[in-house]
Amino acid sequence: MNFNLTEEQLAVREAARDFAQKELKPGVIERDSKMLYPTEQIRGMAELGFLGMMVSPEYGGGGMDTLSYVLAMEEISKVDNSCSVIMSVNNSLVCWGIETFGSEEQKQKYLPRLAAGEWIGSFCLSEPEAGSDATSQRTTAIDMGDHYLLNGTKNWITNGGTSKLHIVIAQTDAEKGHRGINAFLVEADWDGVSIGAKEDKLGIRSSDTHTIMYTDVKVPKENRIGDDGFGFKFAMKTLSGGRIGIAAQALGIAGGAYELSLAYAQERSAFGKPIIKHQAISFKLADMATDIEAAKMMVYRAAWLKDQKLDYDTASSMAKLYASEVAMRHTVEAVQIHGGYGFVKEYHVERLMRDAKITQIYEGTSEVQRIVISRAVEKGKPYIDM
């Protein structure tokens, strides 16, 4: 296998790292503490093309591969995960879902706005009772002939307060089970769409997470994605790609914690020498470096499989599972390496630790990923599929 990045990929990574360090890091602590939406920062990301990286140039996007997107996500996530989750949802779930499965009319109408950052999108699957279980949707879309009538509640919606376009998963025929589910493109300013209060979260605090209510919303027939009954497959395939983005976010969190810890360990002295010279600290850093490298190979490989149009479902679940657990484990270690300084906001690692937890929860919890992986194992699939 060729582990060398292309010149374009290296340039993307450098641009993302430069933007994260110069534009995101200043003010990130205040935005997190006060739950301030990163309006200017998102505008800057849009200008760099980070909100429509994989969208075809035909629709105003960058036409980049998944690995380039992963590299950018990784660097942004080392610094500001509220920005990276906004970027992830817009790229992995909304833009990719529309371009891959939408009609030409839908692509022409929505992708240029989304890719340019003129509009931000949201993916509305989770519900108060069903969580991310797409088979248990209580939100309904009743076929009224020339339109659907949408009713229901979605919660934990990233970009819920700022998105102009929602992809809503809803049940149209309960008797058909998962074959009676559809996905709809719903504009946020339509009558009957209302937004709940912003959630006060443990981490990713400056991203806007809301409950969204739909009351007798008229959705034109042309805003259904795919054939009737395609919604469940759409959700599963889109989430599978989305997990690569969240795996990249987790990888970035772990990498950011490692870089901060390494620098601190080289500067901080105890008992007459830099603490990196003490095995208690150097061994922690060695474990961090090793686990991050292993996670990186899994995440990059999942992205490569997707770019090669090979089956990446199991690989994305493995990458998301492992990278999120690495992020959680080693942000805790980063706080420990920093000692008392790690417990205060100034040194950033406590925020990364809080942000790490969500990577084990959204786009399907770690338990959900183990279900996906175990089903592949039950079928006798090898743990590496080339």
Q: Which residues are catalytic?
A: 363
Which residue pairs from 223-226 have beta carbons closer than 8 angstroms and sit at least 24 positions apart in sequence?
223/106, 223/184, 223/185, 223/186, 224/148, 224/182, 224/183, 224/184, 225/97, 225/98, 225/101, 225/102, 225/103, 225/106, 225/167, 225/182, 225/183, 225/184, 225/185, 226/101, 226/102, 226/182, 226/183
25 contacts: CB under 8 Å, gap ≥ 6: 79, 80
How far apart are alpha carbons 83 and 87 in whole angstroms? 6
How far apart are alpha carbons 81 and 88 in whole angstroms? 10
How far apart are alpha carbons 20 and 75 in whole angstroms? 7
State residue 381 phi and psi, 5-degree precision. Answer: -70, 140
How far apart are alpha carbons 95 and 102 in whole angstroms? 10
